Amino acid sequence: MAARTLMIQGTASHVGKSVLVTALCRLFLRRGLRVAPFKAQNMSNNSFVTPDGREIGRAQAVQAAACRLAPRSDFNPVLIKPESDRRAQLVVNGKVVGSLVASDFGRIRREWFPTVQDCFARLREEFDLVILEGAGSPAEPNLREQDIVNMHMAREANAPVLLVGDIDRGGVFAALVGTLALLDAEERRHVKGFLINKFRGDPDVLAPGIRLVEDQTALRCLGVIPHWGHLRVPEEDSVGWETWVPVEGQRADALLIGVADLPAISNFTDFEALYWEPDVRLVRLTGASELPLDALIFPGTKNTVEALRFVKASGLDQVARQLWADGGTVVGLCGGYQLLGRKIRDPRGIESPERESDGLGLLDVVTSFARKKVLIQVTGTHCESGAPVEGYQVHMGRTRAGSSVLPLLDVQKPNGSLRWAEGAVSPDGRVFGTYVHGLFDAPGFRRVFLNRLRARRGWDPLEVESGRSPDHALDELGDFVERHVDLRAIEAIVEKGL
């Protein structure tokens, strides 16, 4: 029997669709169903590498974890990774197939929707329930003929839809009614209820507005979900900057770590584990700063040369040099690692028309771009401390280390079939770079890094805190959502279908 379906769509981007799908995946899993997530098309530079070396959106990897499944490309067959306002890298079935320009967005539906259909069909044969996620808003008349991820996919999956609105940004009632008004009759037939997300205050205050929407739409409100200020589920994209407020219970002796806000920033989730440490305060840096930083991190980026120009024009290069001269630490992750080197070469114009650029020169490494993307999961150890690490690599560049740097990590494929020295660190240990995303997720390495910064301040080292497991955090998310939605009504919608 083919799987039943449920789809979560939103009135806009960032209303909480990904997190709600994650919660529902866990809730239905706990009810004994075999559940899988599905997002036909994702636009995000936060990606994840599957065990078989394919690339999908990070949100779908988290949703897979909520289903206690290994991530696979079927969960997110089309991934668009923006490189600029008008150009993006196109990933289909986990592999790069070329570039996409804004004027030809409809090419995805023409050329790749059959691939999306195949991926969904495989999931529907294997699982009891597939929970689909939309993107942005379904009420975009200018995109209706190009859509593969909202109502077009709902029709393909014969899926009932729950519409989610974000009250934290204001205008939620107008957004819900307006979204439904812009759908045609066939599209509205799929919508079976609505949810209000990120509410702060007394839900009784919403009653008149909810009644008005229910009267005007003939749909029922299936839940008002409170704002969860310290949600420990990875953000889909860099909207996560907005959540960077001091964590409750932060120590007085907190380290100040800057993160450069680079153009086309990627894998924003690399810093989330640092954010939750009680002795860390993260700050977003867009240019020259006199803040008393302990460390500066250059994150990944989908356009290294553009990011390099930004760093030099904004004065972030001088911030890095001054910090290093003052005894602080400078870190580069993926594209940020490339920035720290002596040269960036792109003779084939893979990422930029610039054939060669001078990097910041803080590490003795040179990067050259290649056509084939590296997609691999890794495990290993930090060379200096022996702390275990694990993560994944997603990059087009190949970085060659010079004689004046040391390897940062000793890594291998998870099956042990290949082992190599990875990354680079300066002889004084205060500048390092790596291609390994998720490096700071390793508690031992993270604490080694932070205690080194603390030592420079003359502060005592801290022990590794025994935190909640990721699986436990997903259970907490499920519990939280279950308390605030009518799950029985949602189960009835799933059972009835269309």
Q: What are phi and psi of 475, to 5 degrees?
A: -65, -40
Where do the H-state alpha helices sit in 258-401?
272-275, 304-314, 316-325, 335-340
Name, in order, each residue with C-beta under 8 angstroms of 121's C-beta and a sequence gap of 6 or more.
Answer: none
- Half-sphere exposure (Cβ direction) of 304: Cα atoms closer than 13 Å: 33
How would DSSP label each residue in 208-264? Answer: HHHHHHHHHH---EEEEEEP-TT--S--SSGGGGGG--PPTT--SS-EEEEEE--TT
Residues annotated as part of the active site = 334, 437
Which of 290, 283, 279 has its CA nearest to residue 257?
A: 283
Q: Which two tokens stand for residue 393?
A: 């690599």
- Half-sphere exposure (Cβ direction) of 489: Cα atoms closer than 13 Å: 15
Angle at which helices 58-66 and 470-484 cross, to 10°: 80
Place of tokens 């990590």: 409
Cβ atoms of residues 425 and 406 within 8 Å: yes
Classify residue 439 by burial, with Cβ atoms within 10 Å: 0-12, 13-18, 19+. Answer: buried
Task: Please tell me whether residue 347 adopts helix, strand or coil conformation.
Answer: coil
Looking only at Cα atoms, what is the longest distance across the chain? 72
